[in-house]
A and B are shown apart, each in its own frame.
Chain A
Amino acid sequence: MLNAIIQGILLGGLVVLFACGLSLLFGVMGVINLAHGDIAVAAAYVAVAIVPVLHIPAIWIFAIVVPLFMVAGYIVQRLLIQPSLNSGPLTTLLVTFGLSVIIENLLLEIFSANSHSLAIGSLASSAFKLSSQISIAYLSLLILVVSIVVVAGVQLGLYRTRTGRIIRAVADDREAAELIGADYRHIFGIAAGLAFGTVALAGLSLAMYSQVDPSSGPDYLIFGFEAVVIGGLGSLWGTFAGGIVLGIATTIGLFLSANFGALAPHIVFLLVLALRPQGFFPKKVAV
């Protein structure tokens, strides 16, 4: 039982890395990106494709893929999401859904339906023991630490830097921010770049942690979304708590039966939705 909770906390780190970008895009633009999970999977596949070509250690792949996806995020925002925002919020939702289907089928055509993972040598399997029953994998711990650093970094960036201040200003009141000279389209692009970067990081971590296949994107989107709702909309630390709750629910569910392991986090989510729809750490202001 204690082991289930500890493994859940470790899994929660990965969930929050997914949810972070989702939360950011909704907070700043009011956009729900239905292609979020597929972008993570796409990042993993880009890594899988370039590692054998470049002959570099898998860890260096982060330095290539994450910036690549940040640029991609900015471009996708300016080319597709911005024009769709102008024709209404429902259009944006449908456009990101279309992107989700397009990315999934592109990956399917290029890489087949087989699952892939990123080989990182001994780090993937080594672990240390806390007691006779509880062992902690170095990789899971590393992902948890990275996710805490990323969430704290985004939070600090939003509150301590000039760009962060402008992002929050645009999120609070777009017209007023424009009056004082903020180019909201550029700011939206930066926010999308950040969101794509964090989700690419999540996708790479996932490919090291387990395996990805082209159709697994929506599952991660759903997990990230459930973490956001459980934690309370607009609160990154709430999302972190939500991710940990889902991780614990999964491992406890798996402890009971294989089928229940898949169902348990969704049941927890629906219960929270029914009993406490505002989540556990709701925030009154966006971002």
Chain B
Amino acid sequence: MTTFAKVKRSQHTSIPAGVLALLILLVLAALPFLVYQSVTNIMVNLFILLVLASMWNLLAGYGGLISVGQQAFVGLGAYGVLFLAQHGVDPFIAIPFAILVGVVFAVPASWFLFRLSGGYFAIATWVIAVVAEIAITGVPSLGGGTGAALPGLSGIDPVQLGADTYWASAAVGVLSIAVVFLIMRSRLGLVLTAVRDNEIGARSVGVKVTRAKLIVFLVSAAGSAAAGALIAISQLNVQAANVFNIQWSAYMIFAVLIGGIGTIEGPILGTVIFIVMQQELARFNAWYLIIVGSLAVVIAIWVKGGIWAQISERTGIRLFPTGYYVDTAEDEMEGKRLGRRRISKVIGGDRQSGQLSEAAETT
């Protein structure tokens, strides 16, 4: 029997999801006019964590590179903003420069790190972060170990500054999701999906795995540096012990593990859950991190794919159409009517749809 099919990227839920996303974006943009600053301040933390989590997910969930040293780039981004602000540049304008600092540092770091894999890669990223922190604290003009206040923002009205900080972090947050989405829609995304599902298999069919991983490493360094720049601006103070703290890695990893690793939606959901728990459990001091960490460990071991995978598997909903779908029609007339073509080759697979292999078999 001949099967007629059309390969699509969008799902029937994608269009309503797109409309909803636009509405959410509009509300997010108008938020400083709608709510008190205490709310937008929490939202700033949410967007910072969103950037960190989606970048770590790109690195670990798709690239298979477990890093526990992303705070190296967070710290360098924060210090990049501090350095430029000390030389008269507006801190908001310094954000792209901070990203550049992160990438420039990530290149030599990768020479060392990419000699290792798995757990050794992970600890080596930690070493890199420690080295970056010690090196920065050795520079007296950047405040040494005690840190320095961020100049250049003291003249601005606090309400205006709060709103500006919010918009900047919202922009970086949305941009980082967009970058991950576009990467996953591109050819590189196909490579990364293959690496995520079976790295050895991908290598054996000639996929340039190391190159893809390097790109992902640099992109996530850039994103983490942008988050570091936002941390510097939102706290108006840069201290090495804070911006290079391992807690940033803990936050991003817990958010991704809870929400779900290896999807775009997972880190977003995980970030929201993390921030809500942080707010609710704030009165218990460090216990909140113990509770959130235990939840992350339990989910990592016993709930495969995190909370998002549970939702997605039960409902079939996917907010970001990154995979491929095949609409099949058994009847030739109906196939022509729907404008579906005969399948000649299979382009790529997707773990969650599982439909392509079926289509390929019937051809």
Interface string of A217-252 (1 = CB under 8 A from B): 011011001100100000000000000000000000
Given contacts A97-B253, A98-B254, contact A83 B294 (CB under 8 A): no
From residue B65, how far is it (CB to closest CB) to chain A in Å? Answer: 9
- Smallest Cβ-Cβ distance to B302: which chain A residue: A83
State A102–B301 Cα separation when bound (angstroms): 16
A26 touches B119 (CB 8 A): yes
State A220–B175 Cα separation when bound (angstroms): 38
Among B110-118, B160-168, B186-194, B350-358, the stretch that binds chain A is: B110-118
- Smallest Cβ-Cβ distance to A94: which chain B residue: B300
Q: Is A31 an interface residue (CB 8 A)?
A: yes
Q: Is B237 an interface residue (CB 8 A)?
A: no
**Residue in contact with B122 in the complex, picked from A26, A34, A266, A277, CB distance below 8 Å:** A34
Given contacts A32-B119, A263-B134, A270-B131, contact A109 B286 (CB under 8 A): yes
A102 touches B126 (CB 8 A): no
Q: Is A259 an interface residue (CB 8 A)?
A: yes
**Residue in contact with B66 in the complex, picked from A93, A101, A270, A274, CB distance below 8 Å:** A93
Provide the main secondary structure of the chain B interface.
Answer: helix
From residue B22, how far is it (CB to closest CB) to chain A in Å? Answer: 35
B112 touches A274 (CB 8 A): yes
Query: How many B residues, CB 8 Å from partner?
Result: 42
B296 touches A98 (CB 8 A): yes
Interface string of B97-126 (1 = CB under 8 A from A): 000000000000001100110111011101
State A99–B289 Cα separation when bound (angstroms): 11
Given contacts A90-B60, A98-B300, A259-B134, contact A222 B127 (CB under 8 A): yes
- Smallest Cβ-Cβ distance to A113: which chain B residue: B286
Tier of interface size on chain A: 35 or more
B120 touches A98 (CB 8 A): no
Contacts of A49 in B (CB 8 A): none
A101 touches B119 (CB 8 A): no
Q: Is A117 an interface residue (CB 8 A)?
A: no
A229 touches B120 (CB 8 A): yes
A105 touches B286 (CB 8 A): yes
State A280–B247 Cα separation when bound (angstroms): 34
Interface string of A31-61 (1 = CB under 8 A from B): 1101000000000000000000000000000
- Smallest Cβ-Cβ distance to B289: which chain A residue: A105
Interface string of B310-352 (1 = CB under 8 A from A): 0000000000000000000000000000000000000000000
Q: Is A141 an interface residue (CB 8 A)?
A: no
Contacts of B130 in A (CB 8 A): 219, 222, 266
B304 touches A93 (CB 8 A): no
**Residue in contact with B289 in the complex, picked from A84, A101, A222, A277, CB distance below 8 Å:** A101
Given contacts A263-B134, A274-B111, contact A87 B301 (CB under 8 A): yes
Shortest beta-carbon contacts, A-B, top 6:
A32-B119, A98-B297, A105-B286, A225-B123, A102-B293, A101-B250
B interface residues (Cβ-Cβ under 8 A, vs A): 60, 64, 66, 68, 111-112, 115-116, 118-120, 122-124, 126-127, 130-131, 134-135, 137-138, 246-247, 249-250, 253-254, 257, 285-287, 289-290, 293-294, 296-297, 300-302, 304
* 5 more CB-based (< 8 A) A-B contacts, given A80-B301, A84-B300: A34-B119, A34-B122, A83-B301, A101-B250, A274-B115
